[in-house]
Structure 1
Amino acid sequence: MKRRDLIHALAALGLTSVPLSSLASAKAPHILWRNAWNTNNIGDIGHVPGALALLRRYIPEARITLWVHKDLVIRGEIARLGRVADGALDAGTIHRRVFPDLEIVSGEIDASGATSNAALEAAVASADVMVIGSGAGILEPAALLSFHRRTGRPIGMFGITTDSFNFTYFNDGERSADVQALRAASFVFTRERTSLRLLGGADVDGPLGASVDDPATPVNETINRQALSLDLSGVNADFVPDSTFAFDARDDARAAAFMKAQGLVSGKFICVVPRHRWTPTGTKTRQGDSREVYNALYLKADHDKLKTAIIDYLRAPGHGGHKVALVPETVYVVELLGLLLKEGLPEDVAARVVVRDSYWLPDEAASLFAQAQAVLSIENHSPIIAAAVGTPFLMVHQPEDSIKADMFRDIGLGDWYIPDINRASGADISAALMAILRDLPKARRRLARAMTGVQERHAFGMRYLRQVIGLPQR
């Protein structure tokens, strides 16, 4: 958009009070980044600062507008579940610390291209490209298509998962907004190669599925991503890891205060992160069952396996002064941390297990993980944040949690990834964790090599985005 056209557009929106000097930035390429899906887990928060760090590094001349899906301030039910004061945590503080000139908008765009507020209208009118950031699926295909149809400008997806069971919808064929967005996108970068295989027509779960129903249980456990009947070979797809791998924000002061209060010593503790099989939102699962019933069936069994690893870690030779910190990735587990992972432990072990009693932001998590020996997690993004600060991890995957965790194989750390908790014992998990801890310098060197590969793929993705908006390569 030319400067005079922008002035006219702003006037039409009643925004002529904007100083003309600020319009000089309109000459810079403008990227509209759609992200910030939720604040109920630190992974969804962490996507954004990671993406902003990449944009800051690789496209520093661009103007960035973040189009948020949810309020960045943690309030209401999320604050209550997380045991924090209403409004006390604001994810936006991290985003602006990473990218001080960040513009943030919210709102909706309808099928005709009409926007719900003036700030979003100005962003859509002036953006050179719209990008869906990392997340579980395309998430906003209708918004992508509305932007593209209205402006004729490119759209793309950066570090997403296209999971035909959990998040991405192909059942309506060519009428599916997801399919239309995939076809319209200038680039589709998936955060694991399994999504690429699925888009290429593979039955990624095999003929028996990723999880087969057990008739002895009261829930339907069948999970199967059958080969797509659509030909999506024309989609411009490639592998670019989750943007959270580029997370570089820290809150060392809060982490230090937590460590002091809990008696944690740098290099003498691990962090352990629990997870429900399905996020307990009250809706049904993809299989049609109550989430409460489904989760209750596995909650104790899953976390008893982690308890085995906790016991073995704290009783290992040379670990007499070590501790375990139980920490959340989601608000839903804050009140359950002790119940799931501390209660029932032998007395000598339980005495050295500390529990975080409130929710936190990913910058504090990063600072704590940086002081830990390792992170043991059933959630996906705590290991990613650990990797970003150079701390080894063990990721234990539940089959209900989509194909996104296959990313750990793709970056070369497949033996730090237990692909199916149903098929692993507590002894298996403990052995994998202790194998990492046996030679931590070697593990850290290996992680550094893996992160070099991640950074190369991130650089590829950002160079491609530069090309899409007509910028020369740097």
Structure 2
Amino acid sequence: MHFEILPQTCRIMKSLRSVLPFFVSAFILHMLPGSSVSPPPSPAASGSPTILIRSGWQTVNIGDIAHTSGLLTLLGQHIPDARLVLWPADIRGEVEPMLRRYFPRVEIVHGGLDEDDRPATSELRAVFDRTNLFICSSAPDIGVATRVFAAWKKHHAADLPDRPYGFYGITVDRETAFAQLAGKTFLSPLDREILNEAAFVYTRETASLDYLRREKIRTRILGFAPDAVFGVDQYDTTRADAWLHANRLEKGRYICVIARTRFAPYYKIRQRPPTENDLAREAYNARHVETDLGKIRAAIIRFVRETGLKVVLCPEMTFEVEVAKEEVYDKLPEDIRGNVVWKDSYWMPDEAAAVYRGAVALLSMECHSPIIAASAGVPSLYLPTETETNKGQMWPDIGLGDWLIYLDDPAVTGESLADKLLHIYKHPAIAAEKLGRAMDSVRAIQGKTLREILAPRQ
């Protein structure tokens, strides 16, 4: 029997061949156990996405700077064909030149919202028009993005299903002592609206994830993705090596220590008169500073005397330069100060990362320097207090729970902190294997979640 294949039939068969891979991919994704990912887009919608990133919360904290470089790095690795547009909240000073140096292909758009919560500049409106996906980078709270996401929803009221938005590595803290002190004890109606209509909400620790589940948030994808700072991979070795050489520091022969007061004195940082709340926080700091930093000093003293290694006192936030000098360095015994180097100026995260990379370990009252160090393969002990959000939960979440040490615990002393540091120093292979397993887990989660991020477009 003979069949004649008509020209129009040939065209149909060619068209089917062109879309077949998309249907195959859709079937595979659909059949994966537990998969919540929708099928891939049609060929017409499958071009390189344009992704708008909201990040850059402040420049006085290298962790807030590193949220941006970390997420840009991860998106470049896992969605390499994407066109990335950064809409920063604040990248003044050295920050913007640093980002342009490491990410020359990333477009940076400036501008705010007008009083009607619409893009205030033609440049920003044009970016809103051509963007397929809007991501809020890791942050201490969803409040950094509720207004901009509301503006996005208004701008794309007619096509929001095709222009999704979401959070990547966010904390939502309404239950800790810090939340009580900050007066954030519930989700506002706008919070709920933004969360429920987001295409994805990845929290950076499971405490926030559990809270949102109990609050019955209905976002399509609700999951865990560690802080975007784990993606940091930028090292200013030139500046770091020069500083290390000038201070006679040898790689593998020092530890880094970051000390702070419980509340950051933002009125000093912003150079404004203190409010009544500022003064109350300063009084709170004063009640705890000797106990907190006395433990840090005791750990340094024992570590130096038993190892002969050096200690670098360095900042994560600008105000910590002064704290390190006045509350740690100046109060150390004279024989110990000879092995302690005070970093007398603030720095950018790429220089900090390069210095951390040469350290034996890092002891920190801040959260993000331990993440930067861990990404560089350096073991870190994180020492939160009750004035921190629940972000510290990410350490147990990735398998490093015993490197999370609550400084408020009466059982935690300078001696016990030194024990932890000395164990890392004396057993480097054990520490390296432990950290390696944790980072393997982090990278696996990063890969999975960043593949899922495109699913809402599908």
SS in 2 for 1:67: strand
Say which of 375, 378, 381 aligns to 1:394. 381
Asked whether 1:323 is paired with 2:310, we answer yes
- The whole-number CA distance in structure 2 between the counterparts of 1:333 and 1:400 is 16
> CA offset at residue 289 of structure 1?
6.8
Structure 2 Cα separation of the partners of residues 409 and 38 of structure 1: 27
Report matched runs for 1:41-80 at 5 Å.
41-70=61-90, 72-74=91-93
Aligned counterpart, 2:263: 278
Q: Which residue of 132, 152, 158 corresponds with 1:147?
A: 152
Partner of 2:396: 409
Aligned to 1:124: 128
Structure 2 segments unaligned to the other structure (5+ residues): 1-45, 268-273
Q: Secondary structure at the residue paired with 1:330?
A: coil
Among 134, 159, 168, the residue aligned to 1:158: 168
State the partner residue of 1:103. 107
Q: Deviations over 1:14-61 (max 9, x none)?
A: xxxxxxxxxxxx963111100000000100001111101111111111
CA contact (8 A) 1:105 1:119 kept: yes
1:444 aligns with 432
Output one character per residue of 1:171-228: Cα deviation in whole Å (capped at 9) or x when no partner: 675x532221111111000000111111123xxxxxxxxxxxxxxxxxxxxxxxxxxx
Can you give the 5+ residue segments of structure 1 that lack an aligned partner in the other structure? 1-25, 75-89, 202-229
- Per-residue CA deviation, residues 271-324 of structure 1 (Å, 9 max, x unaligned), is 0001221111137799x97221111221222111011110111011xx23x210
Q: Deviation digits for residues 237-286 of structure 1, max 9, x if unmatched?
A: 10000010110000001111111111111101000001221111137799
Structure 2 counterparts to residues 56-455 of structure 1, below 5 A: 56-70=76-90, 72-74=91-93, 90-110=94-114, 112-138=116-142, 139-151=144-156, 152=160, 153-165=163-175, 166=178, 176-201=189-214, 230-232=215-217, 236-282=221-267, 290-316=280-306, 319-320=307-308, 322-423=309-410, 424-455=412-443
Count the aligned residue pairs: 396
| Matching of residue 463 in structure 1 with residue 454 in structure 2 | no
Amino acid at match of 2:85: T
Paired residues of 2:398 and 2:438 also in contact (CA < 8 A): yes
SS at match of 1:354: strand
CA contact (8 A) 1:53 1:248 kept: yes
Instruction: State the distance in 1 between where 2:48 and 2:288 align.
Output: 52
Q: Describe the SS at the equivalent of 1:421.
A: coil
- Give the secondary structure class of the aligned counterpart of 2:436: helix
Query: % of aligned pairs identical?
Result: 35
Runs of 4+ residues over 4 Å off in structure 1: 110-113, 165-173, 283-286
Contact 2:255 2:312 in 1 (8 A): yes
Does the 8 Å contact 1:156/1:187 carry over to 2? yes
Change (3 A) 1:284 1:233: farther
Checking the alignment, whether the CA contact within 8 Å between 2:195 and 2:219 is kept in structure 1 is no
The code of the aligned residue for 1:142 comes to: R
Q: Larger C-alpha radius of gyration, 1 or 2? A: 2
Q: 1:234 to 1:468 in 2, by over 3 A?
A: closer
Judging changes above 3 Å, is the alpha-carbon distance between structure 1 residues 244 and 234 closer, same or farther for their aligned structure 2 residues?
Answer: closer
- Secondary structure (helix, strand or coil) at the match of 1:159 reads strand
Code of the aligned partner of 2:71 = A
Per the normalisation by structure 1, the TM-score is 0.79
Q: Distance in 2 between matches of 1:289 and 1:331?
A: 19
Question: How many angstroms apart in 2 are the aligned matches of 1:34 and 1:386?
Answer: 24
Distance (whole Å) between structure 2 residues aligned to residue 411 and residue 285 of structure 1 = 39
Give the AA of the match of 1:191: R
Name the aligned partner's letter for residue 376 of structure 1.
Answer: L
Structure 2 CA distance for aligned equivalents of residues 340 and 59 of structure 1 = 45
Check whether the contact 2:258–2:316 (CA below 8 A) recurs between aligned residues: yes
SS of residue matched to 2:377: coil
